[in-house]
């Protein structure tokens, strides 16, 4: 016993702020390399849950996922019992003192405040929903979709609101990933849904022509669109509950429920107050090993900025795939190993009703802003051989550098089995392939999966043809 106490007295202590993807990935990775007698790990989480899928919340709202707990990958008890990680839920870190290497913690159940020392600190505070200063935004019936508690609140409102026959009227403000996914969920529950967005097309990370295809697809669904407009006010009734959304164009959209889907921003107030440097994106600046510029402090997940693989410029892209990888990198390094985060392309996919949407790399406008001279080509095809049952339309667009043919970005809009094709484009772009190299690569074919010329291959060939035409006309590099 005495020997064990002596060992425990010399243990390094890792404190993690944030118990979701990045934070618990960091804690788990560090634990794999350092046993409980070598490294003490304490993780603080302000909510009641750890390691849950925020991306799954719209599908729980829509009853596609039946149980809340299905979204939880590992509970606090499992972390404690299996990995000897001291997870403290309902615990809010209110301040970080980097000079004394202490954090101040408030127990949200008891109100007790106390300090906790650290040798290494991981900040994984994630992101927070954008909430513009709209009149009425704090009214009853206005929700974000960011946490499990948000999902539970929306579900309760759906069960309680609307007409006796089931269903009511909802307005979703914002036509990004969360807005589209939640609109589908509400429509699936029998609600009448209108999406309001200030852009002329949904999904502004897509090129406008591809966004227009999303518009055309949504027009065949129960979801209405109010685009090229913006919410001016959330109108409340005398009891303070939502009754409508008024837009800048003068429309008044009746609603018993409003969903805010205006994106997220990095949750950096705690880090900024502690003097931890932010980068040009407004997120925490880190190196490839996930170290901040403050000794002993690491950061990972939606609160940090990353380097874009193509432009080598800092970007803030909040995705769970990045958060999990970044957390693991931080934990590996804290645990005594060596890992580096390679960067991001912003590869992402979503769906709304029967429409699948995906993108990777740079859009046309992003490529131009980064200094590239670009060409692009798009093709319309089908997801399977034309004669095979179940084939659906698909459009693939590839953006490439004029002259070299280097692929810079890809976008897909189509039916079932469309979106995951973005992954092969992401791998090609990640590895600096040209459109010709991608076209020439040996790829599979079978009628249940694709036409003999897969749509991504045809798009690459058309892109290469444009590059080749430029070169033969004297438009290529000197």
Residues assigned a catalytic role? 55
Cα 303 to Cα 299: distance, rounded to the nearest angstrom: 8
With beta carbons less than 8 A apart as the criterion, state whether 405 and 428 touch.
no
Cα 178 to Cα 147: distance, rounded to the nearest angstrom: 12
H or E element in which residue 173 lies: strand 169-173
What lies within 8 Å, CB to CB, of 375 at 6+ separation is 399, 400, 401, 402, 463, 466, 467, 470
* Strands annotated E in 200-241: 224-226, 231-236
Cα 336 to Cα 346: distance, rounded to the nearest angstrom: 29
List the one residue out of 470, 466, 407, 395 whose CA is nearest residue 441.
Answer: 407
**157-196 burial, b for 16+ CB within 10 Å, e for fewer?**
bbeebbeeeebbbbbbbbbbbbbbbbbbbbbbbebbbbbb
List the one residue out of 25, 17, 21, 77 whose CA is nearest residue 43.
Answer: 17
Distance of alpha carbon 397 from the chain centroid:
22
């Amino acid at each position: 016993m005495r020997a064990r106490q002596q060992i425990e007295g010399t243990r390094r202590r890792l404190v993690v702020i944030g118990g979701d993807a990045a934070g618990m990935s960091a804690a788990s990775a560090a634990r794999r390399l350092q046993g409980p007698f070598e490294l003490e790990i304490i993780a603080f989480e302000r909510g009641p849950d750890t390691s849950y899928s925020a991306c799954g919340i719209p599908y729980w709202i829509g009853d596609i996922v039946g149980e809340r707990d299905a979204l939880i990958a590992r509970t606090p008890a499992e972390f404690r019992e299996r990995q000897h990680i001291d997870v403290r839920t309902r615990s809010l870190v209110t301040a970080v003192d980097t000079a004394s290497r202490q954090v101040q913690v408030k127990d949200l159940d008891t109100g007790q405040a106390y300090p906790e020392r650290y040798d290494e600190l991981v900040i994984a505070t994630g992101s927070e929903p954008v909430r513009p200063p709209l009149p009425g935004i704090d009214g009853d019936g206005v929700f974000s979709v960011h946490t499990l508690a948000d999902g539970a609140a929306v579900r309760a409102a759906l069960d309680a609101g609307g007409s006796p026959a089931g269903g009511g009227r909802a307005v979703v403000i914002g036509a990004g990933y969360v807005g589209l996914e939640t609109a589908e969920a509400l429509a699936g529950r029998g609600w009448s849904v209108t999406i309001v967005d200030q852009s002329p097309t949904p999904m502004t990370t897509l090129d406008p022509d591809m966004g227009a295809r999303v518009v055309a697809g949504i027009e065949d669904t129960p979801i209405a669109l109010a685009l090229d407009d913006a919410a001016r006010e959330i109108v409340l009734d005398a009891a303070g509950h939502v009754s409508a959304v008024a837009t800048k164009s003068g429309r008044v959209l009746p609603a018993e429920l409003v969903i805010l889907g205006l994106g997220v921003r990095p949750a950096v107030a705690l880090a900024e107050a502690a003097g931890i440097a932010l980068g040009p994106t407004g997120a925490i600046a880190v190196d490839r090993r996930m170290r901040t510029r403050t000794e002993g402090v690491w950061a990972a997940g939606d609160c940090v900025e990353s380097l874009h693989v193509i432009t080598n410029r800092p970007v803030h892209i909040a995705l769970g795939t990045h958060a999990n990888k970044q957390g693991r990198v931080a934990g590996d390094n804290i645990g005594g190993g060596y890992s580096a985060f390679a960067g991001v392309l912003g590869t992402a996919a979503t769906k709304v009703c029967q429409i699948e949407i995906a993108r990777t790399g740079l859009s046309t406008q992003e490529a131009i802003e980064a200094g590239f001279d670009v060409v692009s080509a798009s093709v319309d095809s089908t997801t399977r051989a034309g004669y095979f049952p179940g084939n659906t339309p698909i459009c693939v667009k590839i953006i490439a550098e004029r002259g070299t043919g280097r692929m810079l970005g890809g976008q897909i809009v189509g039916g079932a089995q469309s979106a995951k094709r973005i992954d092969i484009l992401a791998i090609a772009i990640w590895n600096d392939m040209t459109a010709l190299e991608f076209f020439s690569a040996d790829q599979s074919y079978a009628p249940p999966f694709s036409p003999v010329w897969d749509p991504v291959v045809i798009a690459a060939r058309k892109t290469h043809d444009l590059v080749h035409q430029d070169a033969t006309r004297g438009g290529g590099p000197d």
